[in-house]
Amino acid sequence: MGLSEYYKDDIERVLISQTDLNNRIGEIAMQLDKDYKGKNLLVIGILKGAIFTITNLLEKMQKNVDLDFMTLSSYGDKVRSSGSIKLVMDLDRNVENTNILIVEDIIDTGLTMKWLLDYLYKKKAASVEIFTLLEKKEGHKHFVNPKYVGFQIPNEFVVGFGLDYGQYYRNVPYIGVLKEGVYKGE
Ligand code: IMP
């Protein structure tokens, strides 16, 4: 079965609605405003999956933050982690003595975030915390411990709100479970 032209045909069910996403990200924005009061903060969005989360978060935060992006790849077009991380686009700045908040779409094994934490600490960041919109608790091998988690989800392949399958479905406005038939038999 291939990708259908309209995403709705390929979604099994809505896992997290737009309203729930908005509300939860709003709570985390308020928490971050509190936690980083009086401190410098560089928010690093991990492309491309975190793009919806980062814009949604930043429009809700009151604090004046600095923003940058990185692109890491661990999955390619597959539904399972390749285990090796590739830095596709780096920061264009020095992060020494900077408080960093990484904004990520989903943590599965945690290998991607573990790699990034090591990388940023090597560059002498003052502190590095993670906000992940989703965390697959079962898949999580405790490589990292994100301070801010939007939702814990079951071990199913999800798309939407920035998350993709083979670079498609990012524009689904909620988090949905992809029908197995879309990726099985590839
Ligand atoms: P980890 O290194 O195993 O934690 O994998 C994290 C990366 O895998 C995320 O940044 C996503 O790009 C991708 N990923 C993991 N699970 C899913 C999923 O259910 N849907 C879409 N992408 C996923």
Kindly list the protein residues whose Cβ atom lies closer than 6 A to any atom of ligand 1.
49, 74-75, 81, 104-112, 157-159, 163
At position 68, the amino acid (one-letter code) is D
38 CA → ligand 1 middle, Å: 33
77 CA → ligand 1 middle, Å: 11
Is 8 buried (19+), middle (13-18) or exposed (0-12) by CB count in 10 A? exposed
Atom 9 of ligand 1, nearest CA residue: 106
Atom 10 of ligand 1, nearest CA residue: 106
Q: Please state the atom number of ligand 1 nearest to the C-alpha of residue 153.
A: 19
Q: How many C-beta atoms surround the C-beta of residue 154 within 10 A?
A: 11
- Helices and strands in the chain, H and E counts: 4, 9
pTM: 0.92
Task: Give the three-class secondary structure for 113.
Answer: helix
Atom 17 of ligand 1, nearest CA residue: 157
Query: Do 175 and 164 meet the contact criterion of CB atoms below 8 Å apart?
Result: no
Place of tokens 């988690």: 149
Annotated catalytic residues are 108
β-strand partners of 151: 134
Atom 20 of ligand 1, nearest CA residue: 158
Mutate-to-test residue for ligand 1 from 13, 103, 106, 135, highest number of ligand atoms within 8 A of CB: 106
pLDDT along the chain (186 residues), means of 10: 77 97 98 97 97 98 97 66 81 95 94 93 97 86 86 94 94 94 74
